[in-house]
Structures are given as structure tokens and as C-alpha cells.
Chain A
């Protein structure tokens, strides 16, 4: 049975057992057919390329040479079955929440007092981003930690991403997802838990932290929403640096100005017109090109990987994520999350009114370096703040060891109340 059939079978089970069993949790396995993989390779091989960029750097987008190296590796050496086997070695489930089948990985620690934790991926990501942190977090004694560092780990696929159902109606923005996550954790029997995220995961986690779920003890973010509204607006309109900023606030402000002006054209496109990107959905290399271009530092990191200098992300890491998106045909549905966020006017980088305890890790290659002063204002209960020396936007994926240590340190003070 391939994955599409599996999801259909789950739907059938759900229908056959009636509405009362809607909170049932079903095991899930990934198995795409050989034909689908062969078709993917055929399409990559027959890619029609644009001409080379007219510059010698990344200032026009991911360079043709990088994408051509990626495509060559994808067709000749890359093996989807490896990550498929890794995924199937993990406990995967689906359960219906608020009318959608939500896919998630759920790994319980062998340690009794493990702290339940839900970690949310971002864009252009998926559960693939989190695979490296599963064992270190759930089995800390095998990874330099103590039993007291253990987590029970839940890693869901955002609606419209990977193996979660694609919404067919509007409304699945960060608010609704955050409520679904709280529902998921309770359904799994967790009456106290913590949450973590970067990118969209950070936004969803911030929103959970603002919704006032009594079960949520605290959150950790590696892309904290910290910009005060006036600063955020000034950056969006590209005005000069507001007066009275400290040195690190000024740096963060200028990073945000650059981001809005030059860095997230792709975000505006998906936020306003996701349904104009048929060409990305129809082309494996199209998805790869679009995904590689999240931000300058990540693009440089990934480009180096395809030049044979892998640090943090490997070629397989990158292609596992792109291939998952291709096989589930979820580029457009994933892009639509931006549209939902634009509709509901959720701030990407701004303060969201989080009331629960918050831990913040600042990785040096993130879009912006969140200053402690703004983190303190955004999160009245800031329990942890740390600046790291290595790592970027995809912290869990790039630097799983550092990332794991951050989570352990961040939530340590909350465990007594758990």
C-alpha cells in the first residue's frame, strides 16, 4: 500500500467506526510506489533550465550551477528509500483534529518523568527538519545528558504539509493550528507540556503561548517574535532607524529592514498569491529552487553542501525535505499557510502577547539577532536567553547537538512544576 492509499484507508476506518471514534489515533507508514519515484527522476532528468544568472553571486537567487549539481545528485545518487526507512522506524500516527487528519511522530522516552514537548517545523520545512533531535531529546542518557533531561516528543506535520491533510477551506492559520496542537497533546494524555518552534513553528508556538492553554507550561523559540509594533512597522516601510535604539537593537532593526525589502519576496508571493505558483508545484527543480532560497545564509550553507562542503545540512537532508514535498504534492498547500497568516494579520516577527514562560535561543545566522532587551519586553516571563556561536535558521536540522542542549537548559527550571 502506498502512502496515498494508507491515508485513504485511515479515512475509511474513521468513517466505518463512526463519529464517536473521531479522536482515534491510527498508526501511519510511509511507502511511495516505485512508479512515483521513477516519475520523479524522469521529471528531474527532463528539466528545462533557464539561462545562467547574470551575476557571479547569489544576488539573483540560487545559482544555476547549484541547482544543476542538485539535480544531478538527485537523479543519480539520492535514495528516498533511506529516509523512508528512517521515518518508518519511528512511531508515526494520524488522528483527526478539527476535521483534518493530522500526521505526527510520537516518541515516548523510557524515562518516567520525561517532559512532554511538541516541536513544530516551519517553511520550507517538514518533520524532516526534526529527525536528528529525536533520539537526543527522548534518550538523553545516550547523548551526553541525564535522565532528568528527557522529553516525550511529538512532532506534527502542519496542515497542508507532508502527510497531514490539505485543508480544502480557509481558516487554517496559526491560531487554529495552535489550538489543534493543544488538542493533540491532550488527546495523547499529556496534561502538562511544553512547546518549541522555529520559523512557522515559532509563530504557531508563540500563538499557543498567547492563547492561554492551562496545560502549556512554557515555550522555547529559535525565531522569537520580539519586534515592538512601531519598530516592526518602521522596518516594513523601510524608514530610517528609529532613535533611541541600543547597538544590538539597531542591528536587529537593520536586519529586519533588509528582510522586508529584499529577503522575503517569496513570502509576499505565497502570502498574497499562493495559487499563482503552479510552476513550482509542477517542477521538482522548481520546488528545489524555491526552497533553497529561504534566506541568504541558508542558501549559502546549502550551496556549499552541493559543492562538497557540507556543514550542518547534507545534500540528503535537503533533498529528503524537497522530495517529501514533491511526493505529497504539498507545495501549494504549504504555501497557503502564508496566505492564511496574511488574512488573519498574524505578525511574522512581532510581539504576540505571550503570557507563559519563554526560553529564547539566538543562533548567529538566523534572519535577525533578537536582542535580549526586546525579548524581555515581548516575553514578560523570559526564563532563558542565550546567544550561540554557530547555527542558522534551521537550527534543529543544522545543529542538532547545540539545539538539544538549548532545549534541555531552557526547560530545566520548569520541570519541578511539571
Chain B
């Protein structure tokens, strides 16, 4: 009898932790965000104000969520933050004054976001240059466009969008904006696309050789991110009721940090939206905790960076098999 050639027993503590961390890559962000939430609740005097907090958080959370699909598919998208401000500016400067500020604005804004995302992917595919280069170029271009549309900060008096930062009945409005990407993401489970997107991010050559239309998968991933950025634009507009192009770049790196904190591999192929949102929660709550404790805000950036490093170490070193982690 030939011997058993490869023993497949995978028991023991370390492999178990590994598998848990891989299946629930957002675990680290979840634990830290829960701890920070408790710390916030304890330090916050005068009530936490869930509805307002969530509304404040929504644009950042959506920026992190929107950055995720491109990263999972093996690319990068730095345009999410300027795109959120672009959709915001388009709403404030063009749609609202032309009587398109109602429900009709939603499909317009979302389509705009998706179109910019898709355009970016098309450029990456057609020009055959690394996605980082294309996205960095587009980042500056979009900021320029933002300024062109709204050279000065403009405020609006009111819009139905304020519901998104307030509440709809008893439900915090931010639940709708933050929840929408998850509904879409969940629905994508039921078609092969989502799995294929992860496969493309994990190993592009393999996906291509098996007949996957890698280009189309990438375009859809970037378009999905752009769509989520559009939702972020709506959330931002509802929150601030204004547009200010000088802030266009605000969420760029912090969103990517959120993605990394949330356990999504920055090399593609693993992770998910929930992690990114939790990563953003960590960043947000850390900020509010430190300001409540009246810590010098300069330390905040140091903390973000440190957390990101820890998260990537936890996610990258522990979650992967020993061979890959080296």
C-alpha cells in the first residue's frame, strides 16, 4: 500500500486562530472598535448621541467602504474622496438649482459615481499601466474638477437629504446610507461575480487563463466603488449642507487605512466591506475619544498609523499560512 502522501490534519491552536482570522478578517477591527466604543461611552458626558455620531461617521465609513472593491480586485482607488466631493458639488451646484434636487438626484449621483469609477478602470486596462499611477493621476484631476465646479464654498439652506443625517422616523438616517452598500454587496453573493472579483484579486494570471474577463471584472469593481462613493456624496451633502472643494482630498488615505485596518488585504483577493467599515469606525472613535480626553490632536495621526501597522501585522502575518507570511 502506498503511504498517505499528504496528511491533511489541520488541528492545533495556531492554525485555528489563523483560520478564524482569515474567515473573519475584520475580527481585529471589531474588537478594537468595540473597546473604543465602550471607552467613548464612558468618557462622553451628556450622552453619546447615536444618530448624530452615525451621521458624522457616515462619509468616512462610506469612503472606506467605497475604496474596498477596487482593492479586493487587486487594484487601488485614490479617487474615492474627491469623487464623494464631486458628487456633493454636482448636487449642490447643478442639480439643486435646476430643480433636480429631489429623488431624481439619487440615480443621477449614483450613476455619476459609477461612471467615474468605470472610466478609471477602463483607463487602467487600456493604458496598461499600474492602477496606482492611473488612480493617482485621476485623484488630482478630480480635485481640479471639484474646484472648477465649486470654486468657492457654497451652502444650501435645506434639502430632503438632511434626513440622511437626522432620522427617518425612529431610524437614524445614516443607517440607510451606510446600509445600502451592504445590501448591494450581499445581493452580489448570489451571482458568480463577487467570487470572481476575489479570484482576480488573488491571482490575476490564473483568472485570465481560466477564461475570466479580467478587464470587465475590474471595471465592475471600480464602478461599484464609484457607486458607493456616490452614496457617500449624498451622506456628506445631508450632513454639511454645503460643498467645499478645498476638502476634496480629506478622506483619501484615511479611507485606505480603514480598509487595511479592517483586515482587507491591500494586495487584493481577501477581505470585505464590513471590515472596512469597522476599520473606519476605529479611526472615527479613536479621534473622538482622544478629543474627549483632550489629547493633543497631533497624536491622532500617529495613532492611526500605529493601528494600521498593528492591523496589517495581525491580518497579514497571523492570518496567512506560515509560508506566505514570510
Pair from one complex = no
